[in-house]
Amino acid sequence: MIADSPSTTTRIVTLTMNPALDITTRTEQVRHTDKIRCGPARHDPGGGGINVARVAAALGASVSAVFPTGGLTGARIVELLRREKVDQRHVPIADITRESLTVDESSTGRQYRFVLPGPTLTASEQTACLEALESAAAGAELVVASGSLPPGVTPDFYQRVSDLCRAHGALYVLDASGGGLTHLRSGVHLLKPSLRELRECTGQALETDDEQLAAAHELIDRGCAANVLISRGGDDALLASALGSQRFPALRCAPGSGVGAGDALVAGVTVGLSRAWPLPDSVRLGMAAGAAMLLTPGTAACRPNDVWRLFDRTSAPVELAANRR
Ligand SMILES: Nc1ncnc2c1ncn2[C@@H]1O[C@H](COP(=O)(O)OP(=O)(O)OP(=O)(O)O)[C@@H](O)[C@H]1O
Ligand SMILES: [Mg+2]
């Protein structure tokens, strides 16, 4: 493990098993066969947990990002994060860190996102990531794991992270895209699936609020998570917890790039929790951070001023009927 700073005590530690060098550009029209001439490229360090760390750091939290890195793309992520002054502990791997490409189409306002599977991680590299996480998480209050698992990583990896968090007394926040949710058994403090992910995980259509909350409460009843926050893009988010169900009104914003909105939501909630705020207030900060992502281009992190301004515009959650518990 290579650490940027010798200090090990941070309040929030993020884990990104499949980081990406995010490249954003624009073109007039996306077409097949022809060469597509693009505008200048913007490069950002990306992948779920890295995005969470960038937003949490922008909101003034003490945060450290743990992730594997390989090749020149990995080195570029390290350099870009350093420029943003985000503390990091990266684990060298043999294979090469992936790139992700987002192309904005000027003629239609559409966005095209190309996402690669990422490098294969060996068993010993996975163990090195867990060891780096363990050392960074010693004394941390919150561990956030976010994003897809790259090829080669055992499907129960996020459960192993859960066990590690429990051993260290850290609250575990999980936003697992792809199949990472399926092998989860216990120990998550806050699970943040998008509605799309919850549908994939349950294999159900989940058309109504009631059906979506019932699926979330089932995860709680099975012991997977204490709280489940279902994000639904520009629609209100739903929170299921042992106390019941709440709906958090979405903020109305001008349409913009929603890339990283879910990570910003997670970052806002985690920053609230790290300040010992009650969960509903923390979720409101998350809703503000998610919406603030729409105000910045491509994969750029949101601006703290936007988050705090939007936070003042969030409203209290709507308590839902007891029978939805
Ligand atoms: N159009 C929008 N208007 C206002 N807020 C939005 C909008 N889109 C996203 N958000 C904010 O960002 C949060 C997360 O968005 P979303 O549900 O799309 O998550 P996601 O994790 O990015 O989705 P997925 O992982 O499925 O791509 C929302 O709960 C909301 O707070
Ligand atoms: Mg997401």
Using CB atoms within 10 A of its CB, is residue 286 exposed (0-12), middle (13-18) or buried (19+)? buried
Cα–ligand 1 centroid distance for 281 (angstroms): 18
In a domain, 67, yes or no: yes
Return the beta strands (E) in 198-243 as ranges: 225-232, 235-241
Which residues 6+ apart lie within 8 Å of 298 measured at CB?
22, 24, 42, 44, 102, 104, 257, 259
In a domain, 130, yes or no: yes
Helix axes 195-202, 209-221, angle to 10 degrees: 60
Cα–ligand 2 centroid distance for 72 (angstroms): 26
Name the catalytic one among 44, 95, 175, 263. Answer: 263
Active site residue 263: yes
The CATH number that applies at residue 195 is 3.40.1190.20
Q: How far apart are CA 250 and CA 238, in angstroms?
A: 10
User: pLDDT band for position 323 (50/70/90)?
Assistant: very low
- pTM of the entire structure? 0.95
Q: Which residues line ligand 1 (CB under 6 A)?
A: 177, 194, 196-197, 231-234, 237, 250-251, 253, 258, 261-262, 265, 287, 290-291, 294
Instruction: Dihedral sign for Cα 142, 20, 185, 234, please.
Output: positive
In a domain, 108, yes or no: no
Print the domain residue range for 127.
2-18+47-93+119-324
User: pLDDT band for position 5 (50/70/90)?
Assistant: low
The 10s digit of each residue's pLDDT in 215-274 is 999 999 999 999 999 999 999 999 999 989 999 999 998 877 788 999 999 999 999 999
In a domain, 172, yes or no: yes
Q: Buried b vs exposed e over 138-162: b needs ≥16 C-beta within 10 Å?
A: eebbbbbbbbbbbeebeebbbbbbb
Cα–ligand 2 centroid distance for 260 (angstroms): 7
The Cα-based distances of 21 to 24, 56, 180 in angstroms read: 10, 19, 21
In a domain, 25, yes or no: no
How many domains does the chain fold into?
1
The 10s digit of each residue's pLDDT in 169-193 is 999 999 997 666 788 999 999 999 9
Percent of all residues in the chain with a pLDDT value above 90, rounded to a whole number: 86
In a domain, 143, yes or no: yes
Higher pLDDT, 263 or 1: 263
